[in-house]
Amino acid sequence: MSTVHPLLKACLIMDQRINLKWWLHFLLLCLIFGASCGEVRYILPEEMQRGSVIGNVARDLGLKVSELDARRARVVAEGTSQLCELDTASGNLLISQRIDREELCAQATVCTLQYQLLLEDPLQAYSIVLDIADINDNSPVFAAEEIRLDLVESTVLGRRFPLESAHDPDLGTNSVREYKLSPNDHFALEMSTQINGNAYPELVLKKTLDREAQAEHVLKINGIDGGNPVRSGTASIHIRVLDANDNVPAFSQRVYKASVPENSAIGTLIAKLNATDSDEGVYGEITYSFSHLSDKTGGVIEINPVSGEVRVAGVIDYEEASTHELDVQAKDGGGQASHCKLIIDVIDVNDNKPIIEIKSASANVAEDSKPGTMVALINIYDLDTGSSGRVTCTIPQNVPFKFVSEVKNYYMLVTDGILDREPQPEYNITVTATDAGSPPLSSIKVITIVVTDINDNPPTFTQREYNANILENQPVGTFVMRVTAEDIDDGSNAKILYQISKDTKSEVSSFLTINADTGELFTSRLFDYEQSVHFQIKVTARDGGDPPLSTTCTVNAFIKDQNDNAPVVLYPVQTTGFIAEDMVPIEAPRGYLVTKVVAVDADSGHNAWLSYRIIKATRPNLFIVGLHTGEIRTLRAFMEDDEPKQTVVVSVTDNGHESLSATATVSVVIGDGLPVLNELFEFTDEPQESDDLTFYLIIALIAVSSLFILLLSGVFYFKLCRRSYVYRSTTASLPVFPTTYCPPSFTDLSRCGTLLKDERYDSFMTTGSWRGDFRFGSSTDTDTLKQRSAAYQKNTLRRASADRATLKVRAGASHPCYVVK
């Protein structure tokens, strides 16, 4: 969008040659272009008062005024000082410092200032362009308030003498438009134009000079600009009339052109000017000088007054001025002078590194930011021109960020992927800007971006299930165990609170309490193993994020038994005042089962193991009780002097660490005439049985060990005999004949010596076996065996050629073997 400041109207009136219709078309194009590119352009005159309104940025960019302050909107300058500011309350762009077009842009035809309007959350940038219009705020100024000329009285009429132009920093109609000379009889003022189009005044002689009549003339020259109101500058011209100086210095060229690279060393020769004067003596001596030097040229370029050599006198910088246009005067000893123009083009070299300016940067970016989220706005530019001013900006490829440029020289650093704080909480992004000069220059700046955490990870328990053992009868508040969960998020998102899960059954949810900060579990009641041996609760770990995330683990609690229950006698029934009586025949032999004490213990494991002992009896050596069975048997046969009613007190003791016991009183009545049952007759001498069992186990172990050793010996022996017997012929094609293939009645030719020794041998061979080299067990009969073998070999060949069948072993053997006939 574009806005034209009201004061522009005054500027437009200054130049009557500018067509109003053309300006309207231009502003319309600015409006269309600005709206399409997210840019707002304002045209304003220089020298506006501080606090003056340039335009309403919020309205022109379609922004709400309320969001300017909420999004920390601000205006930043691009390579220039901050001359304007944003009023976030109204959306107006205000003048904050004096704007002087001549100071900012010198004699440039177009003077523009580039600014950026930055808004955060999310980060956005809009371009603001200020076109500074010139006003007539400067008067024409002559370089010297007094101009001195020396003319000879013989100077011909019509002779022209160039004068130094007045300098006006303003442009266009506001610059110098005309010169006026004070009234006189001898001189007139005319304008002349240089090759580059600049006009300068010349003093023209209209009437012959007479030194005797008037030796000196004083004139006034006024330089007048075209501004409204008009401004002017004045200088005086002092002319001395001399007797004789017929020739004026003359330059070989009206305009000299030269070039010099920037940053050239002091003393570097730029050009050599040459002017000649035909006069002799002092009138032929020429002195060179600059007629007018601007502030930027002064101290940079100097001229030798004698030789006319122009050299570098200071730091010459292309970025300060790309061209220097100088007026050079050649003046002889008689005061005659002539002028020429020297135009020096400064050649740009790549002497400026790219400049990286961070205009706005969000130090933190949330890890759930979507791709394309802007995190920084960077202004990168190069003061050089041409290829040396073209800048390429890069960042490393292994980061989830990239550059997007929508405005010239401005780069937005945006996210280019999914961020995850847990593996990478921080990025140090190196921004490298490289120009296209030769050699290229580059600049580096590091931007640190911290990835802020979001609650995207639930807590995780170190175990999915925990097992806890709780001794029964422990007091309330006894420590049980600690569950631990971890959260890889940060800050409050990683703060974990523990609680009993609502998924826990209601009847057991109150059995334990948990420390919300540490996860430590404590008992909240007394536990009785006999009532419950196991229960299960669920523990929830919840983080402090928004919204919170949670996870659950299972705690299996096992109640461990303690010896807190004494044995209980079930039989015989123990009641006050009554004890059941057990009858036993008087003829009962030794080891006869009288009765059995039956007791139980509510505990478990070792605590429930019961042992029985007789602690009191009417006859101490009459009965015995089984240590673990509780069976009461007779130790001997009954005698006549034994009481007919015997009382036995049995102690029942458990196996706990601190054992508990109970007693059972057994009443036994010896009855006469009762039958003796054989199935109840068994003497159980437990210690003897234990000794017998041990003895049997030892015998069994010895027997098994002996059999195992015997088996190993047999296997080793058979393998040794088999390896000794197996015959391998020197001819690879012959078969091998194991010993086990021969019938028991045959003679063994191996070294095992299991066959009978006999002098009569016969051999049965398969086809082709005659080629083998056989060795027989008896060395004394070797010749006889060889003869018989030859005969059998012939017979075998004859049979082999007939049917090619394998002969069978005599006596039904299925494999070739040597036997005794």
Task: With residue 662 as reference, give the H or E element that holds it.
Answer: strand 661-671
Any long-range contacts for 189-197 (C-beta under 8 Å, 24+ apart)? 189/221, 190/160, 192/160, 192/162, 194/255, 194/341, 195/254, 195/255, 195/341, 196/255, 196/325, 196/341, 196/343
The pair of structure tokens assigned to 293 is 């030097």
- C-alpha distance from residue 557 to each of 20, 393, 511 (Å): 95, 64, 10
Summarize the confidence of residues 231-259 as an average pLDDT: 86
Residue 681 per-residue DSSP state? B
- Report pLDDT for 759: 38
Q: Is the pLDDT of residue 535 over 90?
A: yes
- Report pLDDT for 557: 95
Any long-range contacts for 275-278 (C-beta under 8 Å, 24+ apart)? 275/249, 275/250, 275/251, 275/308, 275/330, 275/338, 275/340, 276/249, 276/250, 276/252, 277/247, 277/248, 277/249, 277/250, 277/332, 277/336, 278/246, 278/247
DSSP string, 10-38: HHHHH-TTS-HHHHHHHHHHHHHHHHHTT
**pLDDT grade, residue 299 (50/70/90)?**
confident
pLDDT, tens digit, 9 for 90 and up, residues 343-383:
999 998 888 899 998 877 777 888 888 898 888 888 898 88
Report CA torsion sign: 30, 31, 32, 36. Answer: positive
**pLDDT grade, residue 755 (50/70/90)?**
very low
Higher pLDDT, 542 or 282: 542
**pLDDT grade, residue 689 (50/70/90)?**
low
**pLDDT grade, residue 750 (50/70/90)?**
very low
Distance CA 11, CA 148 (A): 38
311, HSE (Cβ side, Cα atoms, 13 Å): 11
Q: Is the pLDDT of residue 166 over 60?
A: yes
Q: Is the pLDDT of residue 24 over 50?
A: no
pTM: 0.53
Average per-residue pLDDT for the chain: 79
Q: In the chain, pLDDT over 90 holds for what percent of residues?
A: 34
Distance CA 84, CA 53 (A): 10
Three-class DSSP category at 694: helix
- List, in order, residues 6 or more apart from 203 with CB less than 8 Å away: 149, 160, 161, 162, 163, 181, 187, 188, 189, 237
**pLDDT grade, residue 552 (50/70/90)?**
very high
- Report pLDDT for 657: 86
Burial readout 195-216 (b: 16 or more C-beta within 10 A, e: otherwise): eeeeebbbbbbeeebeeeeeee
**pLDDT grade, residue 256 (50/70/90)?**
very high
- C-alpha distance from residue 505 to each of 6, 512, 513, 521, 799 (Å): 81, 12, 14, 17, 96
- Report pLDDT for 805: 37
The residues with which 499 forms a beta bridge, in sequence order, are: 540
Q: Is the pLDDT of residue 395 over 50?
A: yes
Comparing 208-212, 250-254, 453-457, 781-785, the range with the smallest average pLDDT is 781-785
How many other C-beta atoms lie within 10 A of the C-beta of residue 236?
A: 15
* Residue closest to 386 by CA, chosen among 339, 435, 342: 435
The residues with which 361 forms a beta bridge, in sequence order, are: 376
- Report pLDDT for 764: 38
Three-class DSSP category at 173: helix
- Report pLDDT for 543: 94
Summarize the confidence of residues 55-82 as an average pLDDT: 85
pLDDT, tens digit, 9 for 90 and up, residues 218-227:
999 998 988 8
The pair of structure tokens assigned to 210 is 């007479």
Distance CA 137, CA 127 (A): 29
Q: Is the pLDDT of residue 288 over 90?
A: yes
Plot region of 25 (φ>0 → left; ψ -120 to 50 → alpha; else → beta) = alpha
- Report pLDDT for 682: 58
**pLDDT grade, residue 4 (50/70/90)?**
very low
**pLDDT grade, residue 726 (50/70/90)?**
very low
309, HSE (Cβ side, Cα atoms, 13 Å): 7
pLDDT, tens digit, 9 for 90 and up, residues 784-811:
434 544 554 455 445 444 443 333 333 3
The structure tokens 């009954």 sit at: 638
Summarize the confidence of residues 405-417 as an average pLDDT: 85
Task: With residue 51 as reference, give the H or E element that holds it.
Answer: none
C-alpha 628: how far from chain center: 72
- Report pLDDT for 720: 82
Distance CA 421, CA 367 (A): 6
Higher pLDDT, 583 or 720: 583
Q: Is the pLDDT of residue 734 over 70?
A: no
Comparing 30-34, 522-526, 670-674, the range with the smallest average pLDDT is 30-34
Higher pLDDT, 406 or 53: 53
* Residue closest to 773 by CA, chosen among 808, 728, 726: 728
pLDDT, tens digit, 9 for 90 and up, residues 627-658:
999 999 999 988 888 888 999 999 999 998 88
Q: Is the pLDDT of residue 140 over 70?
A: yes
Summarize the confidence of residues 496-513 as an average pLDDT: 92
Summarize the confidence of residues 50-66 as an average pLDDT: 90
Q: Is the pLDDT of residue 311 over 70?
A: yes
Summarize the confidence of residues 574-589 as an average pLDDT: 84
Summarize the confidence of residues 172-183 as an average pLDDT: 88
**pLDDT grade, residue 80 (50/70/90)?**
low
Comparing 32-36, 139-143, 601-605, the range with the smallest average pLDDT is 32-36
Distance CA 61, CA 351 (A): 38
The pair of structure tokens assigned to 577 is 């005042």
Residue type, 776: F
Summarize the confidence of residues 278-307 as an average pLDDT: 83
pLDDT, tens digit, 9 for 90 and up, residues 420-445:
999 999 999 999 999 998 889 999 99
